[in-house]
Amino acid sequence: MFTGIVETIATVSALDPQDNTLSGGGGTSLTITDCAPLLTDAHLGDSISINGTCLTITAFTASTFKVGVSPETLRRTNLGGLLPGSRVNLERAVSASTRMGGHFVQGHVDTVARIAAVTPDGNAVRFRLEPRDKAVLRWVVEKGYVALDGASLTVTRVEEGEGWCEVMLIAYTRERVVMGGKGEGEEVNVEVDMVGNVGAECSMEWTKLRKSLQMTSAGILIEGLLNCPILKVILSQALAL
């Protein structure tokens, strides 16, 4: 679990598509450098977020570490397009003392999005994003959270019918996340807010249930109770406790 507050921007030193060493596991491996402060308490097997993708440390030194990258991860994220010298966001997994400055981020990327437009807006910049999988936009809520390359950002606009959403980056954030240096046509990893995801799922299931209940006498009774003003007040007070 992560917070979406990027700890540092590091550098890719190698992307090996066939790493047959013990730490490479006979598949693709990614080696990251320029991240010594984050490795002072590192252990083999630790989870770490690279551009919002939760990966496992398989080897490390004082200033570098290696992770294995599965075929599914390569298909789902932008990690396969990294090159030596590419810059990436890093965040260690949360601990009991971590301050929750962002939102709950799992590191399970849903899709990638193409940056369709970068527009200055006062001292900030608006990024318009077109997800490769348009279906994820049903979970993206205006003024809600979204993780882009692992950075927790606030959604400023959603146009599901047109297939895009927007976020805004202030100057401070642009200097501290890799997205701040990206332009039109480049891609970012997208993870929708799991709280909004679960909430939307529950809402849809509840709607289905209500429709099915309306066909029965018991459903008519339940519907009447749910619309009772007194019961609504009692429920709202109970939920506030």
CATH topology assigned to domain 111-192: Elongation Factor Tu (Ef-tu); domain 3 (2.40.30)
* CATH code for residues 8-92: 2.40.30.20
Q: What is the DSSP letter of 98?
A: -
How far is Cα 108 from Cα 71, in angstroms, rounded to an integer? 14
Kindly give the confidence (pLDDT) of every residue in the chain, 241 residues in length, as a single tens digit, with 9 standing for 90 and above: 999 999 999 999 999 999 999 999 999 999 999 999 999 999 999 999 999 999 999 999 999 999 999 999 999 999 999 999 999 999 999 988 888 889 999 999 999 999 999 999 999 999 999 999 999 999 999 999 999 999 999 999 999 999 999 999 999 999 999 999 999 999 999 999 977 665 555 555 556 666 665 656 566 666 666 666 666 666 666 655 5
In this structure, are strands 164-170 and 187-192 parallel, antiparallel, or unpaired? unpaired
In this structure, are strands 187-192 and 53-60 parallel, antiparallel, or unpaired? unpaired
Q: What is the pLDDT of residue 132?
A: 98
Q: Taking a C-beta distance cutoff of 8 angstroms, is the pair 155, 144 a contact?
A: yes
In this structure, are strands 111-121 and 124-131 parallel, antiparallel, or unpaired? antiparallel
Boundaries of every domain in the chain:
8-92, 111-192, 196-240
Q: What are phi and psi of 123, to 5 degrees?
A: -90, 10
How far is Cα 78 from Cα 115, in angstroms, rounded to an integer? 13
Q: What is the pLDDT of residue 99?
A: 86
Q: Which segments of 67-216 does DSSP mark as H helices, in order?
A: 71-76, 171-174, 194-213
Q: What is the pLDDT of residue 100?
A: 85
Q: What is the pLDDT of residue 209?
A: 61
H or E, element range at 234: helix 229-240
Strands (DSSP E) contained in the chain are: 8-19, 27-33, 47-50, 53-60, 65-69, 87-92, 111-121, 124-131, 145-148, 151-159, 164-170, 187-192
Half-sphere exposure of 232 (CA within 13 A, CB side): 6
Q: Taking a C-beta distance cutoff of 8 angstroms, is the pair 51, 79 a contact?
A: yes
Q: What is the pLDDT of residue 140?
A: 94
DSSP 142-157: TTSEEEETTEEEEEEE
How far is Cα 101 from Cα 98, in angstroms, rounded to an integer? 9
Q: What is the pLDDT of residue 214?
A: 61
Domains 8-92 and 111-192 share a fold: yes
In this structure, are strands 27-33 and 8-19 parallel, antiparallel, or unpaired? antiparallel
